[in-house]
Amino acid sequence: MERRGMTATGWAGVLGLAVGLMGAGSGHVHAQDSAGSLSVAAAPRLHFTPQQMALALAVADDADLAAFYGGNGLQPVFLGPEGAARRQALRDAIAAMPDHGIPASRYPLPPSTAPVAGMEAELAHARQAARLLRDLTRGVLTPASVDPEIKREPGPSPVPALLAAFHAAADPGAVLEGAAPDLPAYRALQAALQTRADLTVPADLPRIPDGLWRPGGQGAGVAPLRARLAWIGFAAPGADPDLYDAALSEAVAAYQRAAGLPDDGIAGPRTIARLNGEDASGPDARQRAITVALERLRWMGAEDLQARHVWVNIPEFSTTIRQGGAEVFRTRSVMGKDTPEMRTPEFSDMMANVVVNPSWNVPRSITVRDYLPKLQANRHAVSHLDVLDGSGRVLARDGIDFSQYTAATFPFRLRQKPSDDNALGIVKFIFPNQWNIYLHDTPSKHLFGNRVRAESNGCIRIGDPVDLAHALLSVQSDDPAAVFGRALDSGRETWLTLRPAVPVHLVYFTAWPGPDGQIRLFADIYARDARIWTALQAEGFGTGGDVIAEAR
């Protein structure tokens, strides 16, 4: 069979021609020229054996396999003695899929004792290899189909190239093992999935009374707290068993880290409920959160998460700068309220500008929902906002009858000029996107003291915005504070261009490794993880003891 250097993409086109022409009874096809049209005179005649044609027809419904086998000359790769190493590598990789939080039962293969001759055996192995590689590189689920607020689109499929590498490799198993995200966070989540501590306390131990225990506290509830901690390996001997001393606080913090709770060393209601076995979000919930986090990282497989980037983890209410896998800056953040119009979406983009002394162009949804009723009651209400026409010209309110407009017909825009009480504070961080989401300062500083900070209209409010600006500008300036200060002192809206632009990832991880490698858990504030877990169950997760049992 002639190939004449055709690429996998070209051969995918040949497969399409082969499939189409088989219906006309042709035993051969002509290749396409570079423009995609059929070149009868110049192209070589490509002759297919019946086996090759059968293979072309069989994989025509799978673009990854069609491209791979097209580039491979429609030759089997799993059959016979020469395919034995590949068959075994695939079986080994399937057996290891619970390490990724994916049930091995998702990839059924014929018994190892079954004959491995003929097209049926080839296709059985090929389809499971392609599915396994798709799952590891792009995720099991399509993000937007689970929740429309997850704005992640899979990139071009790497599966044909990986299958080609698998076919050519002296160690095909290494290709399959290396397909998953090569990230420290992914490996830490895998380790936590496999090696979790058994934090179950026998029910016959004395129950810890409800309360709040912190260092220096004393009472009858401390002794049962010590007893339950000691049973699961967090002993804290003390001269006075009823005293909540420093050693006990350290033991509580260690338990909290293992359980995925905030490790403040204070035994509050959530810690006590978990130790009493009365918290529904127990070990299995922790494993589900980790399983979902692994799936989310696979969705981000095409992103370079080792490069410098801004990382906004919505359930953690935090914004960080990460570089080389390490965190180099952190600040508290406020995220969108848990309502359909205000929840902060998930997506990745490029942060292009730091805007100092920003104007606030009030989003239309806020304008008609919050401000139009006030203007209808009193045209001079919300006087800190200018009313603009479509060309951006500021209008006098005395000439406007706001009562004649509805939310659908209101023709004006509202804008707040730069000021000390501007809703965006003194700086915002722009990454142009269709959802009009950005990071910004805020005059409402009190919200950063709350544990749950889902309080915004969708954008991300930054607790230390000036420090974030300095950190972002430090790559391009030896004195970023001076650059920022000059722009601020001007009193004018000033756009500082980031060179180069910085990737920004708005993500939603309820399980994530802290600096010490221990997994931290965060509340599923928008119930997105719950929806993902339900979708994973539909794909075979959580059945027959699910992947959690397989991973133990």
Tokens for 87? 């068959």
Q: Give catalytic residue positions.
A: 440, 459
CB 15 within 8 A of CB 69: yes
Token look-up 């699961």 returns 232
CB atoms under 10 Å from CB of 18, counted, come to 23
Residues 6+ apart with CB under 8 A from 264: 253, 256
Q: Helices (H) and strands (E) in the chain — how many of each?
A: 19, 16
CB 390 within 8 A of CB 459: no
CB 312 within 8 A of CB 460: yes
Query: For the residues of 146-205, what is the DSSP string, one character each?
Result: H-TTB-----S--HHHHHHHHHH-SSHHHHHHTTS---HHHHHHHHHHHS-------TTS
- The total number of residues written for the chain in this structure: 552
Q: What share of the chain is helix, strand, coil (3-state, %, to 5)?
A: 40, 15, 45
CB 129 within 8 A of CB 108: no
Token look-up 């570089």 returns 323
Token look-up 């309080």 returns 455
Residues 6+ apart with CB under 8 A from 298: 135, 136, 137, 138, 139, 140, 180, 181
| CA distances (Å), origin 496, targets 149, 212, 254, 418, 463 | 30, 48, 44, 16, 20
Nearest in space to 193 (alpha carbons), one of 288, 107, 297: 288
Q: What are phi and psi of 415, to 5 degrees?
A: -145, 140
Distance CA 501, CA 307 (A): 12
Task: Please name the amino acid found at residue 185.
Answer: A
